[in-house]
């Protein structure tokens, strides 16, 4: 069994072919780069996606040595994300599905990060930290759903880092550059540490960090911002671990590539005697395989939608999604 996954949630247009043995036969992508200091413009990003789509799709099939006829299903990211971007992927998927008469499967972008992470790290029943641009959530699977233990009450960790980066003139996504700056920081400045039960709030850190720039070096602010935000996340994860006694922690999503985050969570895992699993950096950011793989899991169980029902949802909530392979 083989299938194609199309990702087009935000910056990235990606396509990937996977098979039922869990092999990723191809995984190509092209990332839209907004001008320095500005965020992603949905219309511009969607134009980028339309422009690169033929090349990426062709490349993904060629690398996997398959044709459209060989595929068993087409999966696409149906949300959450930016409407114009999501529509590019969904339209292509509907077309391919209708033209070649292949089952069509909508996949939740966040579920994609989690399930691809589980495939690549071998996680069985982990406590999950989903840290992508659109999500900052702690989850565990129960009764066929990924249930939210805690999450941000305002902006996500990814947005905090990216918006801070933009405010100092870096191009988005600016995570790696902010991380590099933080490495040079030495002096810690206090920024609002806001933990409410299992939930977090990052918006106060962003405004305080911008203000601190007037009196403190960029490096020190970047360093302090990371330290405070990661500590907050570690504390809520510790809460969830203490309650659930899970033996695995898995970190997925773009922020998972941050090395300081890894260090912090190695320590958390050790304290609670669980195993830390982090999605490999090349799969941390958005990519087609995160759509293709859950697509395959759905397809195995006979799930699909008719093209006329294959819509998108910009604010599709993760704990509403049925994941029939998780008990």
Partner 1 sequence: MEKLISRGAEADIYLGKWGFLDAVYKVRVKKPYMVEDLDAFLRKSRTIREAKMLRAARSFIPTPYVFYVGLKTYTIVMQFIEGQAMKDIIKNKPELSYVAGQYLAKLHNNGIAHGDPNTSNMLFDIKSNTWLMIDFGLSYYTERIEDYAVDFHLFKEILNVQHVEVYDQALNAFSEGYFSTSKITKDKFLNKVEEIEKRGRYARRRNFEF
Contact status: 200 vs partner 1 (CB under 8 A): no
- C-alpha dihedral, 236 to 204 to 190 to 284, nearest 10°: 50
The only residue of 272, 278, 290, 293 in contact with partner 1, by rule CB under 8 A: 272
CB of residue 159 vs partner 1: minimum separation in angstroms?
9
CA distance 123 to 222: 32
- Is 155 among the residues that bind partner 1 (CB under 8 A)? yes
Given 30, 115, 179, 199, the residue binding partner 1 (CB under 8 A): 199
Q: Does 174 bind partner 1 (CB under 8 A)?
A: no
Distance CA 95, CA 308 (A): 11
Closest approach of Cβ 161 to partner 1, in Å?
16
Contact status: 238 vs partner 1 (CB under 8 A): yes
Q: Is 216 in the site for partner 1 (CB under 8 A)?
A: no
The only residue of 5, 80, 112, 126 in contact with partner 1, by rule CB under 8 A: 80
Q: CA 206 from chain center: how many Å?
A: 21
Pick from 149, 164, 283, 293 the residue near partner 1 by CB under 8 A: 149
Buried b (16+ CB within 10 A) or exposed e, 187-220: eebebeebeeebbbbbbbbbebbeebeeebbbbb
C-alpha dist (Å) from residue 288 to 32, 228, 254: 15, 32, 14
Site for partner 1 contains 183 (CB under 8 A) = no
Of 34 and 192, which CB lies nearer to partner 1 in the complex structure?
192
Q: Determine if 198 is a binding residue for partner 1 (CB under 8 A).
A: yes
For 65, left (φ over 0), alpha (ψ -120 to 50), or beta?
Answer: left
Q: With the C-alpha atoms ordered 139, 280, 278, 134, is the resulting torsion angle positive or negative?
A: negative
Binding flag, residue 73, partner 1 (CB under 8 A): no
Answer for the pair 156, 135: CB distance below 8 angstroms, yes or no: yes
Q: How far is the CB of 162 from partner 1 (least distance, A)?
A: 15
Supply 121's token pair: 């790290």
Of 51 and 263, the one with the shorter C-beta distance to partner 1 is 263
Under the binding rule (CB under 8 A), the answer on residue 197 touching partner 1 is: yes
186 near partner 1, rule: CB under 8 A:
no
The three-class DSSP label of residue 42 is helix
From CA 1, how far away is CA 11, in angstroms rounded?
A: 29
Residues in touch with partner 1 (CB under 8 A): 78-80, 106, 134, 140, 142-143, 147-156, 188, 190, 193, 195-199, 203, 224, 227-228, 230-231, 234-236, 238-239, 241-244, 263-265, 267-268, 271-272, 298, 303-305, 309, 313, 315-322
């Amino acid at each position: 069994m083989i299938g194609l996954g199309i990702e087009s949630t935000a910056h990235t247009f990606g396509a990937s072919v996977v098979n039922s043995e869990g092999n990723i036969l191809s995984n190509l992508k092209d990332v839209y780069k907004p001008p320095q200091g500005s965020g992603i413009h949905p219309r511009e990003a969607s134009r980028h996606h339309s422009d690169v789509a033929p090349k990426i799709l062709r490349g993904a099939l060629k690398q996997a040595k398959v044709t459209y006829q060989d595929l068993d299903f087409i999966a696409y990211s149906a949300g959450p994300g930016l409407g114009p971007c999501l529509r590019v992927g969904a339209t292509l998927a509907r077309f391919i599905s209708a033209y070649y008469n292949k089952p069509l499967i909508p996949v939740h972008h966040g579920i994609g990060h989690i399930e691809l992470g589980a495939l690549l790290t071998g996680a069985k029943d982990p406590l999950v930290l989903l840290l992508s641009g659109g999500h900052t959530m702690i989850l565990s699977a129960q009764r066929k759903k990924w249930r939210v233990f805690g999450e941000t009450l305002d902006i996500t960790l990814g947005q905090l880092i990216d918006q801070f980066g933009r405010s100092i003139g870096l191009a988005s996504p600016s995570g790696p550059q902010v991380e590099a700056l933080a490495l040079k920081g030495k002096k810690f400045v206090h920024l609002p540490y806001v933990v409410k039960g299992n939930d977090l709030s990052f918006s106060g850190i962003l405004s305080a960090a911008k203000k601190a720039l007037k009196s403190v070096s960029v490096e020190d602010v970047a360093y302090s911002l990371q330290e405070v935000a990661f500590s907050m996340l570690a504390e809520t994860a510790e809460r969830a671990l203490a309650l659930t006694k899970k033996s695995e922690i898995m970190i997925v999503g773009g922020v998972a590539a941050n090395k300081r985050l890894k260090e912090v969570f190695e320590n958390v895992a050790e304290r609670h005697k669980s195993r830390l699993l982090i999605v490999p950096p090349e799969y941390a950011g958005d990519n087609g395989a995160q759509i293709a793989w859950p697509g395959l899991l759905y397809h195995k169980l006979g799930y699909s939608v008719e093209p006329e029902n294959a819509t998108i949802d910009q604010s599709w909530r993760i704990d509403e999604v049925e994941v029939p392979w998780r008990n």
